[in-house]
A and B are shown apart, each in its own frame.
Chain A
Amino acid sequence: MPKIKPGDLAPDLTLTTLEGQSVALRDYRGRPVLLVFLRHLG
């Protein structure tokens, strides 16, 4: 499994919101993005 570190190009992601909208990280080029990966929904 890769270890992501500062300076790396962020792996792109394309996922779907609860509203069914497709969202890709590249959609936000030009803006900072904070990605928060939840451990679980509890």
Chain B
Amino acid sequence: MAQLRHFKNDLDALDVQVLIISFGAEFWARAWQQDTGSPYPLLLDSERATYQAYGLGTSFVRVWSPHVMWHYLKLVLRGQKLLPVQGDPHQLGGDFIVDGDGVVRLAHASKDPVDRPPVEKLLAALRNLAAEEG
């Protein structure tokens, strides 16, 4: 989220609407929004029907893999604050770019909790899309 916030001007210049989707409880969603300072709408999907519609499942094995544990250990060693997990810790996330006609142009279903596309990759795809439509 910090990265998306950092690139807000670039996203605005491309007229991109960012929608954040969470299945967390409203109380924790408000806390998250305040803590991250996210400038984007946070949509609640408590039943996770939208997660399922976009093919985002759960995985015990992938969430608790040594690779993921090592990633979080490095963050802690760097002094980064980790918030306690709210909701199902095994739910995986994802990122999707949808064009103005409602067609998916980039689909990234996370294989594990730390598998997210770099914002630069998302921006490149959005710039290509803008060039196509421009």
Contact = CB atoms under 8 A, between A and B. Distances in A.
B103 A8 contact: yes
Contacts of A42: 82-86
A31 B15 contact: yes
A7 B40 CA distance: 26
Given A39-B91, A39-B110, A18 B33 contact: yes
15 contacts: A3-B55, A4-B104, A6-B106, A15-B45, A15-B50, A25-B102, A30-B100, A31-B100, A32-B14, A34-B96, A36-B21, A37-B50, A40-B86, A41-B86, A42-B83
A37 to B, nearest CB: 4
B18 A34 contact: yes
Interface residues of B, number: 66
A32 B126 contact: yes
Contacts of A2: 53-55
A31 B17 contact: yes
Interface residues of A, number: 36
A40 B104 contact: no
A40 B24 contact: yes
A33 B97 CA distance: 6
A17 B54 contact: no
Contacts of A21: 41
